[in-house]
Every structure is written in C-alpha cells, then in structure tokens.
Structure 1
Amino acid sequence: MQSPHTGIRMCLPLFAATIGTMTTPAERASAVAFAQQSCALESLTPSSAVIAAAGRYERGDLSTDRLLSEGSAESVADKILVRTILLIERGWPFSGDLQELRAIHQGLFTGVYDDAGTLRTGDTTKGKNARSSNPEAFFPAGLIETGAANISRELAEKRNLKCLDRADFVNALAHIYDELGYLHPFVGGNAMVLRIFASRLSHDAGWDLDWGTVDAASYKNAKHSAYNGDTSAFERLFGTIIRPANPTRSFLIAGWDQGPAH
C-alpha cells in the first residue's frame, strides 16, 4: 500500500534569531496561556500547584528558575507545562531546519524524557490505526534527515510561505504541517514541537495562529485525516485561527484577548 505522503518534499526558513527574554505581564500571560493550551491539546492535566505557580510567574512574582521547582517532580504534565514556559522565555535558534525542530524538542522535554532533542531511530506506526500494519506509516527513520532537507527546499521555493493571500497561505501551511507530521522525527512530542514551529513560521510569513480556539477533538480529527492523506480538516482548522501578524507580541498565542506584548 502506497503512503499518501510518498512525494514528501519540504524546506524551512533560515533565521538566526530567538525569542527574547519576556519582561512584560502580557508576554508572560501569553506564554502561560499557550503552555496550558498545548498541554490540553495533548490531554495533559498539570497539577493545581503548578498552575498556581504559573500564575505567580505571570504576575512577575516568581522567576522561571523558581517555577522549575514547583509542581510534582513525577508529573509529566507539570514538567511539560513549565518547560514550555521556559522555552518561550529563553528562546531557541530560528535556524529553519531540522536543527530548529530538535532545539524545540530539547527545550520542551529536557528533564522529562531521556531522548529530548534526539531523532527516532526506529520506524513507527500510528498505533491501532487501520494503517498501523504499514511499515511506512511514518517516514522511514533512516531517511529523516533527507526528508527534512527536502521539506526545507520546498519551503525555500515557496519563500517560506511569505506574501501569500489568506486562502493560499492556509492551504500551503496545511500541506507543510502534514509533511512535518508524516516526517515524525521524534519518538514522542512531535505535535507539541510542530505547533510551536508552525506558529513561528506563520508569524514570519505575516500571520499569527491562535491555538486557544482549538479543542483536542478537532485537532485529533485533523491529524487523523491528514494521516490518511486528507489535509482539508487542517485547512479548515487553520482557516479559523489565523489573522494578520502583530509584530508587537509573542507569536505563541492561545487567546487574542491577551493583547499586544509591548
């Protein structure tokens, strides 16, 4: 059975920047809201203790170093929430390639999983999905670097999705998002990495994504459909959460009402 993604090609923009250290309440509020929504989309429930600590961080009453010590040391959800906030504050290199994906993964999952920032080495499938018997359910592990380079070339040819009308941008982003999902460079945590990368890519192309309006069921359905070769659900999803980029605020957004991060 031929994979619906056989023609995978892709390319990522080459930037040498990072998110700057957050100093305003609006920036911290944006980071906390995005981190909480990212956990919710993966059905992760942080403890009330770490949620309260995130609130103190948001108000400026708690440093990120102190935030790291809050919550349960055994709770994956607590760790990921805090690591997401920490990643947003400290930033990562915007290299626009596989190294950027690895940097995001390492930032999110250091201290959570032993393989943070490490590419998977074994082929994997979609669990109990009907196509799980297909050894090519995700991109072959031995070709991940080649696949990522191909995606980078495609994005470069498309000018990193810049200067596109709304409809064209939505379609192009859904395609790239699907290709990155199929690439599946890590054993776990791919979706969380991809949402952050897509938000950064979109912002640099002139659009912001508001993940705050997305529910876990809709996101899961879009992933399932794309996995089987139909990106229309992602097109509809992105079509409802984009608006022209606001250069004064963080691009990791879960609620427009947070306001500009001046």
Structure 2
Amino acid sequence: MFRQRKARAAWEATFIPGTYILANSLGITDARQLQRAEFELSADAELRILDGSLQIPATYDFAHLKALHVALVGDIYPWAGQCRIYELGRGSVSFAPTHVIDGQLRKVAAFVRKQPWASLGHDETAVALAHVYARLNYAHPFRDCNGRAGKLLVRLLAREHGWEVDYSRVAIADWIHGSRLSLPEQNAGYHWGGPAEPEPDYLVPAFHQALIDQPW
C-alpha cells in the first residue's frame, strides 16, 4: 500500500496542481506554449549533441539514455532523467511495468555490445536498430519525451557505425503504427501469462526506410 501511495504521489507531482499540464521549470501554464518550448529547446539540444558541441559518453545503456533525456528536456522538466516509479500508458497502450524497466535497458546495452556492427549491411543494420528502439520504446522509463530520447540514441548508434537515420523519410502514421504493434500486449505473438518482450519486426520497415548512408 505504501508503494502504491508513493507511486501515486510521484505521478501527481509531474503535473501543475489542479491541472493536467506538466510541471515545468519555465513557469508555463499553457499547454500549447509548453509544447512549443519543449520542441524548441529539445531540438536545439539535439543539434548540439549531433554536431558534437554537447558531448555525452556513448555507452548505449541506461546511463546514456538518462543523460540524453536530461540534455534534451532538463531545462524544462525537473523530473528529466528520473526513472518512473508509476505505471505508464497512453490510451489502450501500456508500457513496461516498473519492475522490468532496468532489465529491458540492460538487454539493450548487451545487444549493442554483441552486434558485429562493422560487418552489417543496410538490411541487417535496420533490423538491429529496430531491435534497439523497440526495447527502448517498451521500457519507456521517463514520464514523457521517451520517444525523442530513444530516437536520438538510435541515431547516434547508427552514426557511430557509418549510417544516418533520417526519420523524416518515414510517415508519422507508419512510425506510430509500428511502434504500437511492437509493444508486447499489441503484437499477435503475445499471450497472456507469457514472456512480455517487444516485437521489433513491426519496426523493421520503418528503419529500412529511414536508414541511409552518411551524406558526409
């Protein structure tokens, strides 16, 4: 019971009291204005990470993901980089239960270390990146902005091995559809009581489209 009360309190603390607007360090109380500020500040931080002016150790583990999340939205949200202790979903979609988040992200780091990246061609790299993103998406460790941090980690991983990921090449509807179906409770291979593991195959077509040779 204490754990449930603590989780509930942590969830409620992410909102401005009496509203459904995320608590933020900028004092913004209008949802649209907050959305614009989040986009502008996170886009600027992402550019600085990609051009190397803001350097973050590329370990591709939970610490790396946390650091990216803080860099992207730490100036906006006080909970940036903090792993959630409450369950999280969006509509009919549920993300990983809190007790499996850390394990899912350890699997990401282990998978990245095991891949023979230098010998992978386009198709194999797309499959590998889909595997990484599907697990990051399922883990969804933060209150919000998980997709932005996860996509950036995958893009950095691709760049390190001679590729670029251009997400603009994928229709937004296709990306959302693939991401949704890759979640354990959404894909056809999931059975109640069975292992709750993401299904990356649903994201492979998107990464086939997005993955290109580095233009430099």
Q: TM-score, normalised by structure 1?
A: 0.58
Letter in 1 for 2:44: I
Pick closer, same or farther for the CA change 1:98–1:92 going to 2, 3 Å. Answer: farther
Q: 2:37 maps to what in 1?
A: 79
The aligned runs of 1:159-198 (5 Å cut-off) are: 159=116, 161-198=117-154
Letter in 1 for 2:178: A
Query: Per the alignment, in what secondary structure is the counterpart of residue 38 of structure 2?
Result: helix
Instruction: Check if 1:241 corresponds to 2:199.
Output: no
Pick closer, same or farther for the CA change 1:87–1:140 going to 2, 3 Å. Answer: same
Q: 2:54 maps to what in 1?
A: 91
Which of 102, 122, 136 pairs up with 2:86? 122
Deviation sequence 1:73-98 (CA, Å, 0-9, x none): 85222222222213422424123211
Deviation sequence 1:88-112 (CA, Å, 0-9, x none): 2242412321111111111121232
Q: Which has the higher contact order (CA 8 A, sep 6+)?
A: 1
Pick closer, same or farther for the CA change 1:147–1:235 going to 2, 3 Å. Answer: closer
Pick closer, same or farther for the CA change 1:148–1:231 going to 2, 3 Å. Answer: closer
**In structure 1, how many angstroms separate the alpha carbons of the residues matched to 2:131 and 2:36?**
32
Instruction: Check if 1:158 corresponds to 2:111.
Output: no
Identity of aligned residues (%): 19
Give, in angstroms, the shift of residue 139 of structure 1.
2.5
Give, in angstroms, the shift of residue 215 of structure 1.
2.8
Between the two proteins, the alignment pairs up a number of residues equal to 169
Give, in angstroms, the shift of residue 152 of structure 1.
0.9
**203-212 vs 80-89, which deviates more?**
80-89
Which of 104, 108, 112 pairs up with 1:147? 104
**In structure 2, how many angstroms separate the alpha carbons of the residues matched to 1:170 and 1:179?**
14
The aligned runs of 1:3-18 (5 Å cut-off) are: none
Structure 1 unaligned spans of 5+: 1-68, 130-136, 249-262
In 2, are the aligned partners of 1:73 and 1:79 still within 8 Å (CA)? no
Query: Per the alignment, in what secondary structure is the counterpart of residue 139 of structure 1?
Result: coil
Structure 2 unaligned spans of 5+: 1-25, 188-198
Q: CA RMSD in A?
A: 2.3
**In structure 2, how many angstroms separate the alpha carbons of the residues matched to 1:86 and 1:126?**
26
Give, in angstroms, the shift of residue 115 of structure 1.
0.9
Pick closer, same or farther for the CA change 1:162–1:77 going to 2, 3 Å. Answer: farther
Give, in angstroms, the shift of residue 125 of structure 1.
3.2
